[in-house]
Amino acid sequence: MDYKNILVVIDKNKSNGEITNLSRELLAKAREMADELGEKVISLAIGNNMKDIAKEAVFYGSDKSIYVDDELLEDYTTIPYTRVLDEIIDKYMPMAVLIGANTDGRDLGGRICARRQIGLVADCSDIELTEDKKDIKWIRPTFDGKLFSDIRISSFPKIGTVASGVFKGAKKDESRDAEIIKENITLPEEDILTIVKEFIKYPQKEKSLSNCDIIVSGGMGIGEKENWHLIEELADAVHGLVGATKPVCDMGWVPVEDQIGSTGVRVAPKLYIAVGISGAIQHIAGIKKSDIIIAINNDPEAPIFKHAHYGLVGDLFEVVPMLTKKIKELN
């Protein structure tokens, strides 16, 4: 069998009806790999009324955009979505499949690989081609993010799930044109074991760590919870969001949703300010896509300085209040 091209399973944002940021990130990586291999990017949109999403995928790098519409696919359910992806793989025979490591994607990735009895690498933090371009390196964190494993898949297609924030999202190019294909797939009655009766939307912040421009993040160097206001005040001054390291979240100083790193949220802001953060490998994995990293730490040997574009060695309890005050004056 001749497996070729890269298939990306894309999603629609239920809030605004547009292609998700994670889908744009996967399309960007698939585009990069396909260009190196001289192959094509195929996108797959599963759901109901997905034609516009299929068109949008072309603007973000897809060479062939497939969509499958059915009222029964309006909301994600395991067996119908698995059947659709299984049949698309049989027909288009991609050499690799990228799936977003969100709640639905993690389920779909495991299910499709179990059905086809093939390998899966879950929650990848990077994907690279080997030097000879004959294989793919699927990089994922192990031992709670302390190490990163280079995993190879011997079965086809090679399937991996990738978390949000790992790659830079593709830029929209409305001049791109590509084939858009509607595939009709029959869903047997026995596949419909679950029906979603209601979709409850939880209140969401206007901005999230995964899509904001400026983040001020604090580590254990802050000392204690009572000092956390220093991080919040600096973030407020620069009009950014607050992030934290895993130990800070483990201590209960901030919500776990604010954790940045390989086992938390991966971010790619224009500016990342790390305050009192030593620079553990699992945290670096979550911020390495940042355009500019500024580190403030009293230890000149702290690993964070090896990754920062600008570093300030000093007592954060003196530096941060002064910096916050000066920024507020400039505003």
Q: Are residues 231 and 103 in the same domain?
A: no
For 281, the token pair is: 């490998």
Enclosing domain of residue 286: 209-330
Residue 272 parent element (H or E) = strand 271-275
Of 268, 266, 279, the residue nearest 219 (C-alpha): 279
DSSP tag of 251: T
Q: Are residues 217 and 176 in the same domain?
A: no
HSE, side-chain direction, 13 A CA sphere, residue 251: 17
CATH of the domain at 281: 3.40.50.1220
Q: Are residues 217 and 282 in the same domain?
A: yes
- Quickly list DSSP for 26-52: HHHHHHHHHHHHT--EEEEEEESS-HH
CATH of the domain at 98: 3.40.50.620
331 residues of the chain, pLDDT tens digit each: 688 899 999 998 877 778 888 899 999 999 999 999 999 999 999 999 899 999 999 999 899 999 999 888 888 889 999 999 999 999 999 999 999 988 899 999 999 999 999 999 998 888 999 888 888 999 887 776 667 788 899 899 999 999 877 787 888 888 888 989 999 988 888 888 887 777 766 555 566 887 789 999 999 999 999 999 999 999 999 999 999 998 999 888 988 888 998 778 888 899 999 999 998 888 988 888 899 999 999 999 999 999 999 999 999 999 999 999 989 888 7
Q: Does a structural domain hold residue 226?
A: yes
Coarse DSSP helix, strand, coil percentages of the chain, rounded to the nearest 5 percent: 35, 25, 40
| Burial per residue of 87-124, b for 16 or more beta-carbon CB atoms within 10 angstroms, e otherwise | ebbeebebbbbbbbbbebbbbbbbbbbeebebbbbbbb
Number of domains in the chain: 2
Of 216, 219, 329, 228, the residue nearest 270 (C-alpha): 216
12 with 53: CB under 8 angstroms?
yes
